[in-house]
A = this chain, B = another copy of it.
Amino acid sequence: MYVLGVYDINVKRVAKVKKIFSRYMFWMQNSTFEGNLTKVQLRELQRELNSVVNPNEDHIIFYVIRNEDVVTKTIIGERHSEPSNIL
């Protein structure tokens, strides 16, 4: 499955959330990861995230798309560099 993960996380927890995401998916830009995951991997990722986030302050949306072929991606602006320093 092709998965997009977008998050809005309190700054206190954002480094932890990024670290978890980056073990499963690719960083695309600030607040956005994407990747191909199995159902089991997605469940595991969500389990890990649930153990870190505060549901009153944080919000994550997963868009799970049956396959990548139905998605076209267009970008405005230059590619920012990976936030490797904060992982």
| Chain A residues proximal to chain B, CB less than 8 Å | 4, 6, 8, 28-32, 46, 49-50, 53-67, 70-80
Contacts and interface: CB of A to CB of B under 8 A. Distances in A.
A7 to B, nearest CB: 8
How many copies of this chain?
2
A21 B9 CA distance: 21
A64 B60 contact: no
A46 B75 CA distance: 10
13 contacts: A4-B4, A6-B29, A6-B31, A29-B59, A32-B61, A49-B76, A59-B76, A59-B78, A59-B79, A63-B71, A63-B72, A64-B71, A66-B70
Contacts of A49: 76
